[in-house]
Amino acid sequence: MRFRLPLHVRLGFGGVALVASTFVNASMVRGDNEWANWRGPNYNGTSSDAKPPIEWSAEKNMQWKTELPGRGSSTPIVWGNQIIILTAEKTDRVASSENANKPAEESNRGPGGRGGPGGGRMSGPPPTNYYRFLVLSYDRKTGKELWRTVATEQVPHEAGHGTNTFASSSPVTDGKRIFAFFGSRGLFALDMQGKKLWEKEFGKQRTRAQFGEGSSPALHGDTLVVPWDHEGGSFIAALNATTGEIKWKVDRDEATTWATPLIVEHKGVTQVITNGKRVRSYNIADGKLIWECGGQTDNPIPTPMLHNDHAIVMTGFRGSAAYSISLDSKGDVSDSKDMVAWKHSEATPYVPSPALYKNQVYFMKGNEGILSSLDVATGNPLIDKKRLNGIQMIYSALGAADNRIYVTGRDGTTLVLEHGNEVKLLATNKLDDVIDSAPVFVGNQLILRGEKCLYSILEQ
């Protein structure tokens, strides 16, 4: 039996239709020079104004490529002329015996604790080498490194899955500060020149089967929301983005998740929507639970999205679940036909987050190259489980721009499809690299982050 493995959440929101009372982090919806969080200006993997290339290769439309240090699978962010990425670089420094790795601290256990540290059949023994956790800035036009900041040097306490990295979380920025989250290694705030402003530690996560970490923080105004779901005491916390002080912290009855929160303003209340076995919405002001809905599968990874006044949430490990949940919900709406507009229970994604583009939500089956699409208003299938030739294994979140859908496989192959109710292949593009991060669209530029290199693709 093939084992489908979780990875990072990519840290996976299209042309989102908004009503007057509902906004997705409205203060951060930008123009074509910004991609400020891992899912972009529309918070669903799409751009409304970018016009990226359709075709590329190592020679064709390759504006530049830059070799990257260390390993990372987080998605780059872009602000102005800076491309910001996170990476973890293994050093030759080995931990002494007194500093060798031990299981995660017992103090990390709390409500929802789930016993001792996980031992994954897909993971190895804990590392003994120190890693250098880096925040890097590259010139968007040339690919030249502008600055690098060593956030911290630590020995990771879990090995992680072989396909995961110690830099799976994506950074987020408001143009004044960059927030780099390395999970158990800490949360770091930097200015736009890479100077550290503050840092915060939350302890050590014990992830399911030691698969590793990957959730990204979400930013709204001066509030930074950090998800912390693992096999110990799970919680979600809101911090003051200026000082790093905790505003509130709420325990969660969830095992390990890898999903990034969605923050929306609806009828005067800002909701923090989190994926899990139960989808939950919290009031950003005080952390109080607004609504919750069961029905999702294990190992939640895809990031929630917004359509009008509904949250669209999917999971796909050992089952399939896609729900459209009203933001007017109160309390437990698991069985509410009024608050749950539609459900879909076939071929939903495991690792790769979906993309929502022009009232159509695109998603893969598990981690396979099988594409489906639903009418986001009704949940009716428009594309039903169509196999895409040339794509086998996919972790990268889907992307969309200029009436095209971008699907990137782990082997570096990207298929460009025409947006619509049928699968129309426009191009098959191949790079000699492993690509797990999501595509980034800024202006006429496509940015891809591989295991070896950072690529800028531009029509020549």
pLDDT by residue (tens digit) across 204-224?
999 999 999 999 999 999 999
Sorted by sequence, the CB contacts under 8 Å of residue 337 that are 6+ apart come out as none
Q: Is the pLDDT of residue 337 over 90?
A: yes
Give per-residue pLDDT as tens, 143-182. Answer: 999 999 999 999 999 999 989 999 999 999 999 999 999 9
**Residue 12: pLDDT band by 50, 70, 90 thresholds?**
very low
pLDDT tens-place string over residues 13-70 = 333 333 334 555 433 344 557 999 999 999 999 999 999 999 999 999 999 999 999 9
Q: Residue 347 domain-assigned?
A: yes
Burial class (CB in 10 A: 0-12, 13-18, 19+), 106: exposed
Q: Is residue 111 part of a domain?
A: yes
Give the contacts of 335 (CB within 8 A, at least 6 positions apart).
none
| 10 occurs within a structural domain | no
Average pLDDT, the chain: 90
Q: Is residue 222 part of a domain?
A: yes
297: nearest Cα among 354, 230, 366, 210: 366
Q: What is the DSSP letter of 196?
A: E
Task: Tell me what pLDDT residue 97 has.
Answer: 65
Residue 122 pLDDT: 61
Average pLDDT value for residue range 116-133:
72
Is 16 domain-assigned?
no
CA-to-CA distance for 171 and 324, rounded, in angstroms?
A: 27
**pLDDT exceeding 90 applies to what percent of the chain?**
85
The DSSP string of 1-30 is -PPP---------------TTEEESGGG--
The per-residue pLDDT for 99 is: 57
Q: Is the pLDDT of residue 253 over 80?
A: yes
Query: Which pLDDT score is estimated for 32?
Result: 58
Amino acid at the residue 10: R
Please report whether residue 5 resides in a domain. no
Which pLDDT band holds residue 96 (cuts at 50, 70, 90)? confident
- Percentage helix, strand, coil for the chain under 3-state DSSP, each rounded to 5: 5, 45, 55
Q: How large is the greatest C-alpha to C-alpha distance in the chain, in angstroms?
A: 60
The predicted model gives 250-279 an average pLDDT of 98
Q: Using 50, 70 and 90 to split pLDDT, how confident is the model at 336?
A: very high
Question: Domain with 295 in it: what CATH number?
Answer: 2.130.10.10
Q: Which of the four pLDDT bands, split at 50, 70 and 90, describes residue 107?
A: very low
Of residues 192 and 9, which shows the higher confidence score?
A: 192
Residue 178, domain extent? 22-458
Give the model's pLDDT for residue 9: 37
Q: Taking residues 107-131, what's their average pLDDT? A: 57
Residue range 388-418, pLDDT digits in tens: 999 999 999 999 999 999 999 999 999 999 9
The answer to whether residue 121 scores a pLDDT higher than 60 is no
- With respect to residue 362, please indicate whether it lies within any of the assigned structural domains: yes
Share of the chain above pLDDT 70, in %: 87
The number of domains in the chain is: 1
pLDDT, tens digit (0-9, with 9 covering 90-100), for 418-435 = 999 999 999 999 999 999
Q: Is the pLDDT of residue 258 over 60?
A: yes
Establish if 15 belongs to a structural domain. no
Q: Is 378 helix (H, G, I), strand (E, B) or coil?
A: coil
What does the alpha-carbon distance between residue 322 and residue 304 come to, in Å, rounded to a whole number? Answer: 10
Whole-angstrom distance, CA of residue 438 vs CA of residue 396:
5
Is residue 104 within 8 Å of residue 205, measured between CB atoms? Answer: yes
The band of 101, judged by pLDDT with boundaries at 50, 70 and 90, is: low
In which band, very low, low, confident or very high, does the pLDDT at 124 lie, cut at 50, 70 and 90? confident
